[in-house]
């Protein structure tokens, strides 16, 4: 796989730290990127841009993953054409983004993202960074070389062209790819200050590729984790989904904890984890992430709402306990706890309402499952929310919570096809429900019939 790495990277001195005299070009016969493994739409875009006289390269994860013999998640293209020029070439193109305009070319459900070469911000003073060095604007067009140097990690700055099928490397990415090392382009401290999300990207790539993180990068992450608290909360939500729902959730989680980044994203969960009371939180979250990784590996769907229900379960469970001790009924206590936990979490990682409502439903259903093992169980079973709630109950069981009896009962009810046995189960379930503090059906108040005014005697 690495035949192309016989020697050429040795010409690149200093890895991603400093600019070199020129790029290393690896010809087609010395690397393993073949056109047959590039998506046909990405190829179409590359060829059309070239035919119109523009430079165009496959870049980023697409090239990195192909060189590693992995299947890329998506294909990103960088070009010398301006967004307007790209739009003119493709009818199915939409320009997006205000801060930096990107062209999205739509082919059915597939989108190819085309970005115009951008320059870094060196040499133009600090006008584009905030007081603490955060990049505010990132929208100056540049050359291919400038585009390479403003990228995050050396392994993400490799370019592939269909002109002569070469791979182009300005920053020493090929050597780092071979060494399995994530190295920052430029000074890690400065690059993390410009955009703290790069710390999460480091963790994500290390987890996904099994790469080690370069020592200087590690050091900078340990020092600057707190900067995550200044990042847009909506963007952090997107990043957490990439970290936990891309098939490498367990490894990402462990690295986030190792580098003390988890506490800046989920402070309350982190506090619970640190106490490790009965090992519940640790195990539940790990189990949830293990299950999620397995689902991704077998192409089954995964859900942000379920993930967040697991991520925040421990703070929610504890808070509900406080409300119960204040004599709130269990279901209400869980609702109040859900409100409170998400209200405190959202200033860090903003979970969109459509997901947080579902997470809270999963929690509330835990109470419903505990208290409705009697006659009303059949109705719960038929509701669309049952599945996620049941999966979550199983997770709690795996994590050692005391729900074995409930799991056994609901499991038996779901499997039982014989109506007579079902009836027996439902009767037995009444006892279990009472033990768990059954939800009493609300009594309907009988309306007293109004007295009609006496009719006047008919004459
Ligand atoms: P994935 O497999 O997740 O798609 P990727 O490396 O392609 O990984 P993208 O988020 O798709 O990641 O970004 C494409 C490329 O854009 C990256 O490889 C990198 O070169 C560049 N890039 C993305 N985000 C940043 C950032 N915050 N700072 C600098 N460069 C970035
Ligand atoms: Mg990508």
Say yes or no: CB of residue 188 within 6 Å of ligand 1. Answer: no
Atom of ligand 1 nearest to the CA of 76: 14
Report the share of the chain in percent with pLDDT over 70.
85
Mean of the pLDDT values across residues 238-249? 98
Q: Whose CA is nearest to atom 7 of ligand 1?
A: 61
- Asked whether 147 lines ligand 1 (CB < 6 A), one says no
Q: Could you tell me if the CB of 61 is within 6 A of ligand 1?
A: yes
Burial 28-59, CB ≥16 within 10 A → b, else e: eebbebeeeebbebbbebbeebbeeebbbbbb
SS3 294: helix
Among 150, 152, 239, residue to substitute to test ligand 1 (most atoms within 8 Å of Cβ) = 152
Q: What is the pLDDT of residue 9?
A: 38
Our answer to whether residue 152 is catalytic in this structure is yes
pLDDT at 443: 53
Q: How far apart (Å, rounded) are the C-alpha atoms in residues 93 and 41?
A: 13
Structure tokens belonging to residue 236: 């952090």
pLDDT digits (tens, 9 = 90+) for 100-121: 899 999 999 999 999 999 998 6
Helix (H, G, I), strand (E, B) or coil at 298: coil
Residue nearest to atom 8 of ligand 1 (CA): 61
Q: Please compute the mean of the pLDDT values over residues 381-395 and round it to a whole number.
A: 94
Average pLDDT, the chain: 89
Kindly state if the Cβ of 152 falls inside 6 Å of ligand 1.
yes
- Residue 340 Cα to ligand 2 middle (Å): 36
Q: Which CA distances in Å does 52 have to 56, 99, 113, 187?
A: 10, 26, 18, 37
Q: Which ligand is nearest to the CA of 197?
A: 1
Report every protein residue that has its C-beta within 5 angstroms of ion ligand 2: 60-61, 74, 76
- Is residue 8 predicted with pLDDT exceeding 70? no
Q: How far is the CA of 209 from the centre of ligand 2 (A)?
A: 14
Q: Report which secondary-structure segment, H or E, holds 51.
A: helix 40-51
* Marked catalytic residue, from 76, 147, 169, 214: 76
Task: Say what the pTM is.
Answer: 0.88
Domain boundaries, the chain: 1-186, 197-263, 267-435
CB 380 within 8 A of CB 372: yes
The string of pLDDT tens digits covering residues 150-184 is: 999 999 999 999 999 999 999 999 999 999 999 99
Ligand 1: which atom is nearest the Cα of residue 62? 7
Q: How far is CA 76 from CA 10, 25, 32, 136, 447, in A?
A: 27, 20, 18, 23, 68
12 alpha-carbon distance from chain centroid: 34
Cα gap 303→245, rounded to integer Å: 8
pLDDT reported for residue 447: 65
Determine the distance separating the centroid of ligand 2 and the alpha carbon of 204, expressed in angstroms: 12
Mean pLDDT of 5-13: 40
Specify whether domain 1-186 bears CATH 3.40.1390.30: no
Mean pLDDT of 320-336: 95
Q: In testing the pocket of ligand 1, which one of 16, 57, 60 has its CB within 8 Å of the most ligand atoms?
A: 60
Whether 57 shows a pLDDT value over 80: the answer reads yes
| Average of per-residue pLDDT across 401-414 | 91
Ligand 1 centroid vs 100 CA: distance in angstroms?
A: 14
pLDDT of residue 21: 59
Percent of the chain at pLDDT above 90?
72
Catalytic annotation, pick one of 65, 147, 152, 169:
152
Helix pair 233-244, 197-209: axis angle to 10 deg: 10
Given a cut of 70, whether residue 32 has pLDDT beyond it is yes
**Model confidence over 246-263: pLDDT tens digits?**
999 999 999 999 999 999
The pLDDT value given to residue 378: 86
pLDDT value at 99 more than 80: no
Name which residue sits closest to atom 11 of ligand 1, judged by CA: 61
Contact 307, 245 (CB under 8 A): yes
Ligand 1 centre to CA of 156 (Å) is 7
Question: Ligand 1 pocket, 197 CB below 6 A?
Answer: yes
Fold category of 267-435 in CATH: cca-adding enzyme, domain 2 (1.10.3090)
State the closest ligand 1 atom to the C-alpha of 65, by its place in the atom list counted from 1. 2
Assess whether the C-beta atom of 66 lies below 6 angstroms from ligand 1: no
Kindly state the average pLDDT of the residues 339-346: 97
Determine if ligand 1 sits within 6 Å of the CB of residue 60: yes
């Amino acid at each position: 796989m690495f035949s192309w790495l016989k020697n050429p990277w040795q010409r690149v001195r200093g890895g991603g730290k400093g600019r070199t005299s020129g790029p290393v070009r690896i010809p087609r016969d010395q690397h393993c990127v073949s056109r047959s493994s590039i998506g046909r739409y990405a190829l179409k875009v590359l060829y059309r841009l070239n035919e119109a006289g523009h430079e165009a390269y496959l870049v980023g994860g697409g090239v990195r993953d192909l060189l590693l013999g992995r299947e890329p998640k998506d294909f990103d293209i960088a070009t010398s054409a301006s967004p307007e020029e790209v739009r003119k070439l493709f009818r199915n193109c939409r320009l997006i983004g205000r801060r930096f305009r990107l062209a999205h070319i739509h082919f059915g459900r597939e989108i190819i993202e085309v970005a115009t070469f951008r320059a870094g911000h060196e040499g133009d003073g600090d006008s584009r960074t905030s007081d603490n060095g955060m990049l505010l604007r990132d929208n100056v067009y540049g050359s291919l070389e400038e585009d390479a140097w403003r990228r995050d990690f050396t392994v993400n700055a490799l370019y592939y062209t269909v002109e002569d099928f070469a791979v182009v490397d300005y920053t020493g990415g090929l050597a780092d790819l071979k060494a399995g090392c994530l190295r920052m382009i430029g000074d890690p401290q400065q690059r993390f200050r410009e955009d703290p999300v790069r710390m999460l990207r480091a963790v994500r790539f290390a987890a996904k590729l099994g790469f080690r993180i370069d020592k200087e990068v590690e050091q900078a992450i340990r020092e600057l984790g707190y900067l995550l608290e200044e990042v847009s909360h909506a963007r952090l939500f997107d990043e957490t989904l990439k970290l936990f729902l891309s098939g490498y959730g367990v490894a990402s989680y462990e690295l986030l904890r190792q580098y003390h980044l988890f506490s800046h994203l989920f402070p309350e969960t982190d506090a619970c984890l640190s106490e490790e009371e009965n090992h519940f939180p640790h195990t539940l979250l790990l189990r949830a992430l293990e299950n999620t990784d397995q689902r991704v590996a077998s192409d089954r769907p995964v859900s942000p709402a379920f993930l967040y229900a697991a991520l925040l379960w421990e703070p929610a469970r504890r808070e509900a306990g406080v409300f119960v001790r204040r004599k709130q009924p269990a279901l209400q206590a869980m609702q109040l706890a859900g409100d409170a936990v998400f209200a405190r979490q959202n200033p860090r990682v903003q979970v969109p309402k459509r997901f947080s409502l579902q997470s809270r439903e999963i929690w509330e259903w835990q109470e419903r499952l505990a208290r409705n093992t009697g006659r009303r169980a059949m109705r719960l079973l038929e509701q669309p929310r049952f599945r996620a709630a049941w999966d979550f109950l199983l997770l709690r069981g795996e994590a050692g919570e005391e729900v074995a009896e409930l799991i056994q009962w609901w499991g038996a009810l779901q499997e039982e096809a014989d109506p007579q046995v079902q009836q027996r189960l439902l009767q037995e379930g009444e006892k279990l429900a009472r033990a768990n503090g059954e939800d009493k059906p609300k009594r309907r108040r009988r309306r007293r019939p109004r007295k009609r005014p006496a009719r006047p005697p008919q004459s």
